[in-house]
Chains A and B, each alone.
Chain A
Amino acid sequence: MNKSLVGLILGLVLPLLAACGGAKEVEVEKSTPSLPAVEARRLQAEPAGVQDVIDLKAKAKVGDQVVVFGRVRKFSDGFASFVLTGSAMRHCAERDADGCPTPWDYCCETPTDLAAHSLNVEFREGDRPIRGRLDGVGGLKLLADVVVEGKVAAVQDGNVTISAEGYWLR
């Protein structure tokens, strides 16, 4: 087979193969999410009487007015709620700065320790948390240092839920 024949076939086939490579993903520009009912609760100054998560969980009773400090570990998918983890827990980036692409999952800690040092924070209207996702709202992001002021809404089997009335980003 001569060179021009090979060239012609390759010229016809290679563009077809290239076309089969799949379309590039189109990057969608993300707009900053907004939940006014949550943003309105951002405090202008850090509240006094801050406790760590583990200390609060030890004595929390439903209805207690509390101020608690921790880090955002996980946002709820569909509600204005997040899991706050106490400062005694160290995420993987704090242990080994280079290694971990998802430090917010605290995979270097045991799940049991992590559960003991975590509580749930909800921004509510009435008895229900507000619909929406908090990631990016009012400066809240994963691993953000947050002081939450609010009321203990539920205590069950070692789990504590705080209904947030205000928050301060350290």
Chain B
Amino acid sequence: MRLLPLDYPLRNLGRRPGRALLTAGCSALAAALLVGTFAFVRGMAESLERSAPPRAAILMSSASMKDMVRSAISPAVADLVVADVEGILEVGGRPAVSPEIHMGSRIIVDGRPHEGFLRGVTDRAFLVHERVTLVEGRLPGAGEVMVGRLVADRLGVTADRLALGRVLRYEDADHVIVGRFAAPGTVLESEVWAPLVELMGEARREDISAVFVRVRDDEVFADLDLFTDRRLDLELASMRAADYYRELAAYFEPLRLIAWMMAVMVGLAALFGGANIMNAAVQDRLRELAALRALGYGGFAIVLAIAAEALLQGAIGGIVGTTAARLLIAGSSVSLAMQSFSLRVDAPSLAVGFAGSLLLALIGSLPAALKAVRMNVASGLKES
């Protein structure tokens, strides 16, 4: 089988640079959008799922319908569960049990109110939430808080307004920021952490939201469930933390679907645009392609040359699109409901964007290639 030389599609690009640029532009748009959508969808799902501490359960109110913000349980639960259940993990000789308050609140920064998320914790929270690391400052005491790295994005303020020493006001009290924490790839980074007892007082609560419990092995989850059945007076429900955050992620499923649908629609627009341009390119070169057929090049050689030309444009567009997405999207975050998450522009999302632009270019070239194969050589040679 005789094939056209490899430089033939390459030189064709240079013959009509405007048209090649347009096709590559379509591919770049599709690639960037695919990267963005993939980064958004993965960032949302994985940030929630990674927020679950490893092998942990959440004890919350049985009446809360699995909503930690609505949950209200006795602060004594944290000690009762340690006393009654064997198999709770110990970290540094202390049981990994964290009583917490989870609540939304109006947080005032420099006189302007913003909706934010507060978590009341004790120092035991660090035994449970292993991903949380203090990156600046120290742990908060009375009248103090520490903020996650995404809190500024969540509140819609610049990072310098949440620098150490600045003041946040919520629940009618001022709080000095004394620490900044990271919890990579989780939604915890969009939270403000405050001392539990102080937050209970400020929020006028005698209860807490939930108790996080880490266990030594999976069988202990059953013991925790049995504990809630034996202590009916506490009105508790036990749930694996991984299941809780998975269900939370599933709640946003319609949003993910909409994001993908938008990506598909823009991808289709890019596909039709690219196909149209390739079709026009073949139409302009019918005489040349007929001549190639007359010289003995078969239909497959022509199809291959047109596909290679489209793939080249797709690759150029893919590189431009993924680079643009990397520069513009990476490091940014999106706020949803009470929390924020980072967009994950990593190797898999870039690969999806690049592969998507190649696939669209290939599919878009097929109508033009078929047209070239189907043409009558004699009439093609007569084309002006």
Interface residues of A (CB under 8 A from B): 1, 4-6, 8-9, 12-13, 17, 20, 74, 76-79, 81-83, 107, 111-112, 114-115, 118-120, 129, 131, 154, 156-159, 161
Contact = CB atoms under 8 A, between A and B. Distances in A.
A157 B366 contact: no
B3 interface: no
A81 B226 contact: yes
Contact of A115 (B222, B223, B235, B364): B235
Contact of B272 (A1, A74, A78, A118): A1
Contact of A119 (B221, B226, B232, B268): B232
Contact of B233 (A6, A79, A115): A115
Given A8-B367, A157-B231, A159-B233, A13 B268 contact: yes
A158 B370 CA distance: 81
Given A8-B366, A9-B366, A76-B222, 19 more contacts: A1-B275, A5-B367, A9-B275, A79-B222, A81-B226, A107-B63, A111-B235, A114-B235, A115-B232, A115-B233, A118-B232, A120-B229, A120-B230, A120-B232, A156-B230, A157-B233, A158-B232, A158-B233, A159-B230
Task: Categorize the interface residue count of chain B.
Answer: 20 to 34
B219 interface: yes
Instruction: Give 6 nearest A-B pairs by CB, closest first.
Output: A78-B222, A5-B367, A77-B225, A115-B232, A111-B235, A111-B63
A12 B223 CA distance: 54
Nearest to A82: B229
Contact of A8 (B63, B223, B370): B370
Interface in B183-241: 219, 221-223, 225-226, 229-233, 235, 238
Contacts, number: 78
A76 B225 contact: yes
A76 B219 contact: no
Interface string B264-286: 10001001100110010000000
